[in-house]
Chain A
């Protein structure tokens, strides 16, 4: 599904990714771990198409299609979803209105009419229940005054609504207490299927107790330095990252 080959990228003149390779197949869960500054969030931004990052070499493709010439919104229409580490506030735009706009934008790109209101409402209710989100939350301004946990839960709610092919969760566990972590992880697990894939970017083993990865990769200094199964995460938790350098 997602194939990244020899990816080099820089931001503000600094080389961050230096020849990264990874392949994610449908139905798989991959975890990317690594020390601060290794390039984990850069990888997420580059795949999503953030224009502040310059791809200097290599290739990213989704289902065999090169993403290079696609804008971030076009990539989203193809099914890429990024759960942001720091979701932004949009005052005056409610959670409901925002997700409605996003869903209808995607439908438009597929040549579909707007989703009928009743269907939209049903879907919103269903997904809100999955993430234990109550009604009042849906009419609040997007991320404005949200706690860290509410922001992350809202990200996963949007993911549930948009049903992406590939979801990248960037440090979704940061700022979550254990209950919120359980709810978010539970949501992600329920959304998993044989046709979609999840890439979890995290510092800690903790989240991986709930979202169990098929593969774990260690990213250090812009490259994948080690890959393995879920037991690699435990080893990293015990030993830290230094032994890999």
Chain B
């Protein structure tokens, strides 16, 4: 009997590989490799930063030098050589303040390939986009529309110059410089990222989105995102990432800080699709990211992530529930295939009274990959009536991959109610045969089963993103079952 074998799938996969693996020849200015105080001063100078910012960076660098790379995560990789990375690379013709007509046509061609619409006339999607290529922000759309509402959405390098009072007050307030090794590194060398401020009582009229792209080889990407939702405001923020396919491992160490003031709500969604390495585990992005939000009174922060890319992922979007009645949510789908490794999860820190958190994590492992959920739910002694519900489900495909769950619970107040549920399942031959018998081929059957498994999280994504994420899941898992 003819059987759609793993080999057939692999053949097919060759033609459909990592779709964003192209490299665009942009005329770029790239710093020599290496890291020291002079390099940091040079970055700061390049960005025309004020003195306080240069000092802030140098302080972070000195602290970073004394720190060691963490080893507790359930991932194994060759440590990056931090002196063998270039810390600044910028497409030469990029200037977000100029009109689109002045932009390098190669750059526009790249946006097209990435499926990003920068043409403000095409308001169909109703998404404002900031695009960061390598170290700099190259285009921000819809600025004017947003300005009318008092919303600031701009590259963080611009915010440092234009809105120093906000940046000074909030940068490093949620993720301190010394929080961890990669956060310290990022604080020293970050080159761009997005800044967003929603004024009191304003509901942001469109999705804000940042698109990150690593283009040059031998570089790392260290972006920094700061989102401030003032009292009673609402914003939904999207983030997408891709990189060219390369044999080398590229480092991506980002920091994202969210601040939700009283009665504010931030919804932060990520579709992470950095190059995962090839089928043999060569190359791929090291994705070491610190994301954290601070919730004041009656506020809410909701993280949703679909993680399909990167060779190694180390990432724990967290919420500090400081204000009474604040709410933290974490919805995650992490897919690993071939030799990918992911150690991801969240921390929910309950400090205020009547704080609530929800964690839903869906891990899908295939090939030789390893997928770990690591989560902390912490309830302080003074936090009355804290509630947490956690659900961690793992789906395994084949018998060479691994799924791991590391839930940590620290409760110091008796009124807390914590629930934790976990399941592990395998895509069964009987499920596939059942689908096949109904005329659904194996590839489509896997997509159907995986989408069903991930549904609770996919439902949390904004509509346009959900469709993209669904497709991404299918592509990421192609060739994973024979």
Contacts and interface: CB of A to CB of B under 8 A. Distances in A.
Contact of B441 (A73, A84, A88): A73
Contacts of B451: 92-93
B441 A51 contact: no
A162 B438 CA distance: 8
Contacts of B453: 91-92
Nearest to A92: B452
B444 interface: yes
B73 interface: no
Contact of A71 (B4, B430, B431): B4
B46 interface: no
Nearest to B436: A72
Nearest to A91: B452
Nearest to A86: B430
A106 B444 CA distance: 12
A136 to B, nearest CB: 17
Given A73-B440, A91-B453, A162-B438, A98 B2 contact: no
Contacts of A55: 1
A204 to B, nearest CB: 24
A51 B453 CA distance: 25
B439 A93 contact: no
A37 interface: no
A101 B444 contact: yes
Contacts of B448: 90, 93, 97-98, 101
A151 to B, nearest CB: 12
Taking residues whose C-beta sits less than 8 angstroms from the other chain, chain A's interface range is 20 to 34
Given A71-B1, A98-B448, A88 B438 contact: no
A68 B442 CA distance: 18
Interface in B402-428: 428
Contacts of A81: 437
Contacts of B434: 84, 87-88, 90
B455 interface: yes
Which of B3, B436, B439, B456 counts the most chain A CB atoms within 10 A?
B439
Taking residues whose C-beta sits less than 8 angstroms from the other chain, chain B's interface range is 20 to 34
A120 interface: no
B286 to A, nearest CB: 32
Interface in B442-464: 442, 444, 448-449, 451-456
A88 B433 CA distance: 10
Which of B1, B429, B448, B452 counts the most chain A CB atoms within 10 A?
B1
A84 B437 CA distance: 10
B63 to A, nearest CB: 45
Q: Is the interface of A mostly helix, strand, loop or mixed?
A: mixed
A88 B430 contact: yes
Interface string A66-88: 00111111011100011010011
B439 A77 contact: yes
Interface string B319-338: 00000000000000000000
Given A51-B1, A71-B2, A90-B431, A82 B440 contact: no
A73 B449 contact: no
A105 B431 contact: no
A49 interface: yes
Contacts of A69: 1-2
A11 to B, nearest CB: 13
Contacts of B438: 76, 98, 102, 105, 158, 162
Contacts of B1: 49, 51, 55, 68-71
Given A51-B1, A102-B439, A72 B433 contact: yes
15 contacts: A49-B436, A69-B1, A69-B2, A71-B441, A72-B436, A73-B436, A81-B437, A88-B434, A90-B449, A91-B452, A91-B453, A92-B456, A93-B449, A105-B441, A109-B439
Q: List 4 A-B pairs, minimum CB-CB distance, nearest first.
A: A92-B452, A93-B452, A76-B439, A72-B436
Interface of A: 48-52, 55, 68-73, 75-77, 81-82, 84, 87-88, 90-93, 97-98, 101-102, 105-106, 109, 141, 158, 162
Given A52-B429, A76-B436, 19 more contacts: A48-B433, A49-B437, A73-B437, A73-B439, A73-B440, A73-B441, A82-B437, A84-B434, A88-B430, A90-B435, A92-B453, A92-B454, A93-B452, A101-B448, A102-B439, A105-B439, A109-B439, A158-B438, A162-B439
